[in-house]
Amino acid sequence: MLEVCGLSVTRHHRTLLNNINVCFRPGELWVILGENGAGKSTLLSAISGLTPYDGEVRFHQRGLDRWADKALAQQRAFMQQQHALPFGFSLPELVAMGRTPHDETADHRWQQALHYLEALQLLNLTDRHTDNLSGGELQRVHFARCLTQVNGLSDDCQGRLLLLDEPTSALDLHHQHRVLNHTRTFVDKGNTAVVILHDLNLASCYADHIMLLKQGELLAMGSTAEVLTQNTLMDAYHTPMHISQHPTLNRPIIFSEPQEYPYAKNGTE
């Protein structure tokens, strides 16, 4: 359980996040939505304990700053937006790095890495190096690394936290669903995931709860049906929207309308 109370982040006299209060419980998949620069990544890296913040963030009733680095790394994984790696690694090597916070033998790490490579359909690429992968393939490898870090091979892990910053931005449709399916399975075991997405329909299909941020403030928070409404989304994205119902899932589906240029110019994008 991750409790966030009065979280604010200020950098260079600019408020990036203002007074965020939320509680992420086990068994919940949260999606954070919002325009560029709304503070999504700032929120995620603050609750991961990697960047300084004001206010209080408690993970399992203990303040984040009171966790030892290694103990925290055994419980939560953070997949960040990726940049190029300066050195090439083999895929099992890179994924096995996710297990370094756990005291395990190299062989055991390797087995778990192969398991998750298989789960993400990357096993046929194991003879390649990371510098020979496409952006989407590399993104799946990093996702596999983070999932390995908090999940491992045991099925009894609970209360773990998976933070994903745009994990599907470079993926094709099939792998977008595959990655979010794995996240769903992980959450259903009694863990928590907080995911930043830009695809509203993907968010609608997978989220239990949605947080909508705008200029560092919480604009809306609640279930998909509560947050994904026409007025809220138009307020957040300055784009004409229509909301419909998914033909098979009981979830909202969002259609955006192409805009005239002057409209876009007045908006943020």
Partner 1 sequence: MTGQVLHLGSPRLSLTLRYYVALCGLLLGCALLSLGFGPAGWDWQLAIAWLYPSGFDQFSTLQHNVVMHIRLPRFLLAVCIGALLAQTGAATQALCRNPLADPSIIGVSSGAAVFAVATIAFANRLGFSADLWLPITAFFGALLTTLLVYHLSRRGGHVQVTTLILVGVAVNALGFALIGLISFYANDGALRLINYWTMGSLAGASWHGLFSALPLFLVAIIGLLRLREPLSLLLLGEHEARSLGVNIARLKSHTVLLVALGVGAAVAVSGLIGFIGLVVPHMCRLLVGSHLSALMPISVLTGAVVMLLADWLARIVVTPAELPIGIITAFLGAPLFIYLLHRQQGVQHA
CB of 167 to partner 1, least distance (A): 14
Residue 154 touches partner 1, criterion: CB under 8 A: no
Q: Which of 101, 136, 190, 240 binds partner 1 (CB under 8 A)?
A: 101
**Residue 260 tokens, joined:** 């005239």
Q: Which of 7, 22, 73, 210 binds partner 1 (CB under 8 A)?
A: 73
Please check whether residue 14 is in contact with residue 39, taking contact to mean a CB–CB distance below 8 angstroms: no
Residue 80 touches partner 1, criterion: CB under 8 A: yes
Q: With contacts defined by CB under 8 A, name the span among 17-25, 30-38, 100-108, 175-183 that binds partner 1.
A: 100-108
Q: Any bridge partners for residue 26, and if so which?
A: none
Helices within 17-105 (DSSP H only) = 40-47, 69-75, 91-96
At 147 the three-state DSSP class reads: helix
Alpha-carbon gap, residue 27 to 180, rounded angstroms: 14
**Residue 124 tokens, joined:** 């046929």
238 sits in the region (left: phi over 0; alpha: psi -120 to 50; else beta) called left
CB of 66 to partner 1, least distance (A): 15
Residue 157 touches partner 1, criterion: CB under 8 A: no
Q: Which of 48, 139, 168, 232 binds partner 1 (CB under 8 A)?
A: 48
Nearer to partner 1, 92 or 252 (CB): 92
Please check whether residue 144 is in contact with residue 117, taking contact to mean a CB–CB distance below 8 angstroms: yes
Binding site residues, partner 1, CB under 8 A: 45, 48, 50, 69-74, 76-78, 80, 83, 85-90, 92-94, 97-98, 100-101, 106-107, 110-111, 114-115, 118, 123, 126, 129, 131-132, 149
